[in-house]
Structure 1
Amino acid sequence: MAHKGRVQTVRDSFQVVRTDADAFARGFYDRLFAKRPEMRGLFADDMSAQQAKLVTTLVTAVNMFDTPSQLIKPLKQLGASHAQMGLSQADYQLVVDTIIETLETTLGSAWDVAHDRAWRGLLDFVSNVMQEGAADAA
Structure 2
Amino acid sequence: MDKILLEQSLALVAADDPDFTVRFYERLFADYPEVKALFGKNIRPQATMLQEAIVAVLEHLDDPGWLETSLSSLGRVHASLGVTPKMYGWVATTLVATMADIAGPQWTDVMSKEWNEALTAVAAMMLDAYPPESPGQESNTTDQHLLSGPGRGKG
Fold match by TM threshold 0.5:
yes
- Per-residue deviation, 1:110: 1.4
1:27 corresponds to 2:23: yes
Aligned length: 132
Percent identity reads 28
Instruction: Give the TM-score of the pair, scaled to structure 2.
Output: 0.78
C-alpha separation between the residues in 2 aligned to 1:46 and 1:110?
31
Q: Which has the higher contact order (CA 8 A, sep 6+)?
A: 1
Structure 1 gap segments, 5+ residues each: none
Contact 1:21 1:55 in 2 (8 A): no
The one-letter code sitting in structure 2 at the alignment partner of 1:58 is I
Q: Which has the larger radius of gyration?
A: 2
Contact 1:61 1:122 in 2 (8 A): no
Instruction: Give the TM-score of the pair, scaled to structure 1.
Output: 0.87
Matches within 5 A, 1:1-138: 2=1, 6-19=2-15, 20-22=17-19, 24-135=20-131
The one-letter code sitting in structure 2 at the alignment partner of 1:50 is Q
- Per-residue deviation, 1:115: 0.5
The one-letter code sitting in structure 1 at the alignment partner of 2:85 is Q
- Select the structure that is richer in helix: 1
